[in-house]
Chains A and B, each alone.
Chain A
């Protein structure tokens, strides 16, 4: 069962094998959680949306047609849930939510004079990385998450965001340049 490809597992699940569904859930739960989390920055909410994603996989299993890779299909579903939630959140809040992502202790300006403060430096760097990512426009953010965090291929990304390969490549370059500018301004480089 473990040797089976995603496409074989979904086919078995479509034919009624519930074990194949469980394997797919095990295979994708952590990857997709990290993917959704990069949009919503709330673990509980990310888990909720991940459950909705797997529920949709369960109830709409026959919507998957074996013309695309299973991974692109499930990433599209998860991404749609995450983006819908983001839009809802934006409607609810008129102020920037990027400042609300991190807890207060993470926002303390660190003093790096001591060598022992490397941990704080790391934490600060992580926060800067997350902050710059969350400040990117949604289409740039999505592409960075898919390429640099989830490490998907350009072909897969092209299918998920429904853009030609050339556009995907130029967009990721522009997104990386924007991140570079943001991180450079924070002087973490």
Chain B
């Protein structure tokens, strides 16, 4: 059962309806002059649009296209160079970070080492001071005796 024959007009014109639909469509169309005119007008419109005058590209079209391509190539030459350079740039950056990181670690190690040496010296000084104090104490005890 077809509810709206308008929906089928294009499919009828393009022979896209099944047998049953076509029979029903044509029956309706032949019983309704206004609808028949509508279908014929739409068919006619399609051929009018198909036959609209066509335009061609101008004589300069290919020359202009060529220069547009050349301009774009000149404008973006560095992009293609950059693409090939990417692996090298990345390798360089990674090496740089490794070097910086290694250098920092080395400095930290030296700093820690010098700190521990300083601690050792401080301890020695302290112990020497203690020894001095002990000697002074013994000497003062002897003299009082």
Show the binding face of A for B, using Cβ within 8 Å.
Answer: 25, 29-30, 33-34, 37, 43, 46-47, 50-51, 54-55, 58-59, 125-126, 129-130, 133, 144, 148-149, 151, 169-170, 172-173, 176-177, 179-180, 183-184, 189
A-facing residues in B36-93 (Cβ within 8 Å) = 38, 41-42, 44-46, 48-50, 52-58, 61-62, 64-65, 68-69, 72
In terms of DSSP, what is the predominant structure of the interface of chain A?
helix
**Docked pose: A126 CA to B50 CA in angstroms:** 12
- Interface contact A47-B58, CB-CB below 8 Å: yes
Show the binding face of B for A, using Cβ within 8 Å.
Answer: 6-11, 16, 38, 41-42, 44-46, 48-50, 52-58, 61-62, 64-65, 68-69, 72
Chain A hits for B61, CB < 8 A: 29, 47, 50-51
Chain A hits for B9, CB < 8 A: 173, 176-177
Partner of A25, one of B41, B49, B55, B62: B62
Jot down 5 A-B pairs with beta carbons below 8 A, ordered by A.
A30-B56, A55-B65, A148-B49, A173-B7, A179-B42
**Docked pose: A60 CA to B45 CA in angstroms:** 38
- Interface contact A59-B58, CB-CB below 8 Å: no
Chain A hits for B54, CB < 8 A: 30, 34
- Interface contact A176-B45, CB-CB below 8 Å: yes
Known: A29-B57, A47-B57, A129-B49. 7 other contacts (CB 8 A): A34-B54, A37-B55, A47-B61, A169-B10, A173-B8, A176-B9, A176-B45
- Interface contact A149-B55, CB-CB below 8 Å: no
Known A51-B64, A149-B52, A169-B11; judge A176-B42 contact (CB<8 A). yes
Chain B hits for A46, CB < 8 A: 55
Q: For chains A and B in complex, what number of residue pairs have CB atoms within 8 angstroms?
A: 83
**Docked pose: A179 CA to B64 CA in angstroms:** 37
Chain A hits for B11, CB < 8 A: 169, 173
- CB of B130, distance to nearest CB on chain A (Å): 82
Known A55-B68, A177-B6; judge A149-B42 contact (CB<8 A). no
